[in-house]
Amino acid sequence: MKPIFSVVLAAILLLGGGCATTHQVQVSALAHPQLAASARTYVLAAGHATEQDWGELQFQEVLSHVRPALVANGYRETDRPADGDSLSLFVDFGVGDPVARTYTFSTPIYAELGGGYTTRTTTTKDASGKSVTTTESVRLPGRYERVGTDVTVNTITTYRKHLRLSARLREAGVPPEKGREVWTVTAIVDDQHSDLRAALPLLAAAIEPHLGRDTRRAVWEEFREHDGRLERVTSR
C-alpha cells in the first residue's frame, strides 16, 4: 500500500497555486457483487453512536454531509425497512491522537578558499619612446569547497480523521450488526488540524463516488479548495 503520510505531507505543504489548497484523501471501499446492486433503502443503525446519540448535534452534522452523498447514489432513507431488501447503515467518524514526526534537512555549505588579489606591473613605451609603467590589481581565482553543513529540524504534528459508512442487509431475526455486509467505504485524511468539522465536507465528497462499489484497492481522491469550494481534481 502506498504510504499515506508521504502523500499527506504534500497536502500539508499546500500544493497548488494562488489561494487554492490541495487535499488528498485515501478511500477504500468493499462491496458484495450481488447484494450491493439491489438494496437501495436504508435505516440508520447504532454504530459509532447509540440510538440516543442520534439527536446529538455533532452526529446530525455528520449526517448532513452523508445524506446528500447517499441521495446522489440513489439511496433513500426509510422508516419502514423491508427485511431482505433494506440496509442497516452504520456511520462511524472520529479524530485520532496527534502524531508528531520530526524531519531533519541537511544543506551543504560551500565557500571560496584561496585566491585573492596580486599586483601586476607592466612597462611599455609611448609614441615618443618614453617608458610608461602601469600597475594593476589582478584577481587570482580561488576554489570552492564544502566547509560545513546547515541542519534544520522541523516537527509536524498531524491528526488522522476518518469517516466510515457500512451497510448491512436487514434480515428477519438477525440483529442489524449481524446482517450480511453489503458494502463498506472508509475515507481517511491526515492534516495539521484537529477539527473534524472542517474535514467533513472533504471526507463526504471523497466517499460519494464509491458508495456501493468496490475500489479493489485503496485509492486517492484529490481535491482543490478554492474560496471555500471543493473541486475534485483526480482519482487514482
| 197 and 172, same domain (yes or no) | yes
What is the arithmetic mean of pLDDT over 12-21?
Answer: 50
State the average pLDDT over residues 105-134. Answer: 84
Instruction: For residue 105, list its beta bridge partners.
Output: 152
Across the range 163-191, mean pLDDT stands at: 95
Q: Confidence band (pLDDT; 50, 70, 90) for 4?
A: very low
C-alpha cell at 218: 485503496
CATH number at residue 163: 3.30.160
Domain count within the chain = 2
Of 121, 152, 183, the residue at which a domain comes to its end is: 152
User: Is 63 in the same domain as 113?
Assistant: no
Q: What is the pLDDT of residue 180?
A: 94
Chain segment 27-83, per-residue pLDDT in tens: 999 999 888 888 899 999 865 544 446 568 888 999 999 999 999 999 999 988 888
Sign of CA dihedral 215, 62, 90, 84: negative
Give the CA distances from residue 187 to residues 15, 158, 162, 163, 190, in Å, rounded to whole numbers and listed in that order: 20, 16, 6, 5, 10
Q: Give the range of the structural domain holding residue 113, as residue numbers without chain letter.
A: 104-152
Q: What is the pLDDT of residues 226-236, one digit of tens each?
A: 877 888 887 77
Assess whether 59 and 140 both reside in one domain. Answer: no
How many CB atoms lie under 10 A from the CB of residue 62? 22
> Can you tell me the distance from the alpha carbon of 75 to that of 70, in angstroms, rounded to the nearest whole number?
5
The pLDDT of residue 14: 39
Please compute, for residue 212, the number of CA atoms within 13 A of its CA located in the half-sphere on the CB side.
18
Q: What is the pLDDT of residue 87?
A: 95
Same domain for 94 and 13: yes
